[in-house]
Amino acid sequence: MTRGPRRAQQIFDATLELLAAHGYRGLTVEGVAERAGVNKTTLYRWWPSKAALLGAALTHGAPL
């Protein structure tokens, strides 16, 4: 991945882990930020919504 935050993989991992544990309704940007060890503003800088973050995690974060 050429563009994105330095800790993109940790963010994607945290997103997918929280989705698995709590479902979409329980997935929060705040929870992802805390689990990935980044600021919430970092997430919103790259992904404008929870849905956009999840889409990126599903596209770029999960190994094939």
With beta carbons less than 8 A apart as the criterion, state whether 26 and 12 touch: no
- Rounded to two decimals, the pTM is 0.87
- Which CB contacts under 8 angstroms, 24+ apart, belong to 30-37? 36/7, 36/10, 36/11, 37/7, 37/10
Q: Which pLDDT does position 63 carry in this prediction? A: 65
Q: What pLDDT tens digit does each residue of the chain (64 aa) get?
A: 446 678 899 999 999 999 999 999 999 999 999 999 999 999 999 999 999 999 999 998 766 5
| List of domains in the chain | 8-59 (1.10.10.60)
Q: b/e string for 50-60 if b means 16 or more Cβ within 10 A? A: beebbebbeee
